């Protein structure tokens, strides 16, 4: 399997300076290129008027290869939500979603093409893993978003399991949060890494001492239901996943987000709400309930409205903050992987 072309967003600033020197240019050219990419969000040599023309073409060709090509673009909510399906250099497809709110702009990025975790309710899980994205392929999704609106928040809730692509995801987080010209200068607190619950990787992330928000996709408070909904639970049980989350809370002082897709008659019973509330009570935590977005051919659907309200009430009764996530982008296949799943490879844009 060939690797994506090298891009300056795969490298730290010092490595970019070395790469530029190896190409026979002065090291400060790396800073100039970085400022164009991370500060002005351009990779077009025509925009780089502070560099000599020949140098521009040579350096951009080597360090700013085009990594993403739009395959399809869809918007809804009067243009406030914009979803893009990207084709990568090897034909793999990933998607990103830009969501504009009154007080913030959130970019939802993919960390892998496909996913190997096999959660049965998730469109991405059904297709299996194609490959890990490079750090630059992840960052490029945010840079593309920056061309439409100033991105304030980033969530790793597109395709893929970020902690199964640890090294590149961490590189991407650093490029997103380091100041210009090293990176995009987005606050660490505004970046959320969502995981299915890979315990050793959660521990490793805690040890990085970053201020990024951890989201744990729990989906059930008991191992019986979670073994089915989240197959990796057969390896790391609910109790171990929550222990890792509480360590993350203790080390970083950050509120942990618990993701819970409500599925009718599968995980929405009152006793499961009570158990969830009692497991989380007393922690710095927030529960995000997500009405299931059924995937094509799925036997499962979202909970009935009354049942959802009862679930919220019971969790809240334990003093645990809980909200129902707004379902932005539903009509454009908003849930994880659904746009890619509905697009046969090889189709044209539009």
Binding of ligand SAH by 154 (CB under 6 A) = no
Q: Out of ligand SF4, ligand SAH, none, which partner does residue 293 contact, by CB within 5 to 8 A per kind? A: ligand SAH
Binding of ligand SAH by 191 (CB under 6 A) = no
Question: Considering 62, 95, 137, 259, which one is annotated as catalytic?
Answer: 95
Does residue 336 carry a catalytic annotation?
yes
Q: Which is nearer to ligand SAH, 64 or 229 (CB)?
A: 229
Stretch that binds ligand SF4, among 24-32, 39-47, 110-118, 131-139 (CB under 6 A): 110-118
Distance, CA of 273 to CA of 262 (rounded, Å): 11
Beta bridge mates, 216 = 195, 258
Q: Which is nearer to ligand SF4, 62 or 161 (CB)?
A: 161
Count the site residues for ligand SAH by CB under 6 A: 18
H or E element, residue 286: strand 285-291
H or E element, residue 245: helix 238-252
Give whole-number Cα distances, 190 to 152, 153, 154, 187, in Å: 7, 5, 6, 5
Binding of ligand SF4 by 266 (CB under 6 A) = no
| C-alpha angle 283-289-294 in degrees, rounded to nearest 5 | 150
Q: Which is nearer to ligand SF4, 11 or 129 (CB)?
A: 129
Contact 195, 161 (CB under 8 A): yes
Q: How many CB atoms lie within 10 A of CB 188?
A: 16
Binding of ligand SAH by 194 (CB under 6 A) = yes
Q: Out of ligand SF4, ligand SAH, none, which partner does residue 97 contact, by CB within 5 to 8 A per kind? A: none
Binding of ligand SF4 by 119 (CB under 6 A) = yes
Shortest Å distance, C-beta 260 to ligand SAH: 8
Rg (CA), the chain: 21
Q: Which is nearer to ligand SAH, 37 or 260 (CB)?
A: 260
Binds ligand SF4 (CB under 6 A): choice among 10, 62, 95, 161? 161
Stretch that binds ligand SF4, among 19-27, 30-38, 56-64, 112-120 (CB under 6 A): 112-120
Distance, CA of 196 to CA of 126 (rounded, Å): 15
Question: Sign of the CA dihedral 303, 309, 310, 311?
Answer: positive
Does residue 76 carry a catalytic annotation?
no
Question: Sign of the CA dihedral 141, 143, 147, 148?
Answer: positive
Binds ligand SAH (CB under 6 A): choice among 84, 252, 257, 295? 295
Q: Out of ligand SF4, ligand SAH, none, which partner does residue 165 contact, by CB within 5 to 8 A per kind? A: none
Distance, CA of 301 to CA of 293 (rounded, Å): 7
Binders in 121-150 for ligand SF4, by CB under 6 A: 122, 124-125
8-state DSSP, 196? S
Termini Cα distance of the chain: 29
Binds ligand SF4 (CB under 6 A): choice among 64, 92, 115, 285? 115
Name the site residues for ligand SF4 (rule: CB under 6 A): 115, 117-119, 122, 124-125, 160-161, 196, 217, 336
Active site residues: 95, 336
């Amino acid at each position: 399997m060939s690797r994506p072309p090298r891009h300056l967003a795969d490298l730290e600033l010092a490595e970019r300076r070395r790469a530029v020197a190896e190409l026979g240019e002065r090291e400060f050219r790396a800073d100039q290129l970085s400022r164009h990419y991370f500060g002005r969000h351009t990779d077009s040599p025509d925009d780089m008027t502070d560099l000599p023309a020949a140098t521009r073409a040579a350096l951009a060709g080597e360090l700013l290869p085009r990594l993403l090509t739009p395959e399809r673009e869809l918007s809804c909510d009067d243009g406030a939500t914009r979803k893009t399906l990207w084709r990568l250099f090897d034909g793999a497809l990933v998607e990103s979603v830009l969501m504009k709110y009154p007080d913030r702009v959130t970019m939802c990025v993919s960390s892998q093409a496909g996913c190997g975790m096999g959660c049965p309710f998730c469109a991405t899980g059904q297709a299996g893993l194609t490959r890990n994205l490079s750090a630059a392929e992840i960052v490029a999704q945010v840079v593309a978003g920056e061309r439409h609106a100033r991105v304030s928040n980033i969530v790793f809730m597109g395709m893929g399991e970020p902690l199964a692509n640890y090294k590149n995801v961490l590189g991407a987080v650093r490029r997103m949060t380091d100041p210009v010209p090293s990176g995009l200068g987005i606050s660490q607190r505004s970046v959320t890494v969502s995981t299915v619950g890979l315990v050793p990787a959660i521990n490793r992330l805690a040890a990085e001492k970053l201020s990024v928000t951890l989201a744990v996709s729990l989906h059930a408070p008991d191992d019986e239901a979670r073994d089915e909904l989240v197959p990796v639970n057969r390896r790391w049980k609910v109790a171990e996943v929550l222990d890792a989350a509480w360590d993350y809370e203790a080390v970083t002082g950050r509120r942990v987000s618990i993701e819970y897709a409500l599925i009718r008659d599968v995980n929405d019973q009152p006793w499961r709400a009570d158990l969830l509330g009692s497991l989380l009570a007393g922690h710095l935590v927030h529960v995000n309930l997500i009405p299931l977005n059924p995937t094509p051919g799925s036997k499962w659907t979202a909970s009935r409205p009354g049942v959802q309200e009862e679930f919220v009430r019971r969790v809240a009764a334990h003093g645990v903050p809980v909200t129902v996530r707004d379902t932005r982008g539903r009509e454009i296949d908003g849930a994880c992987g659904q746009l890619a799943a509905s697009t046969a490879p090889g189709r044209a844009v539009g």
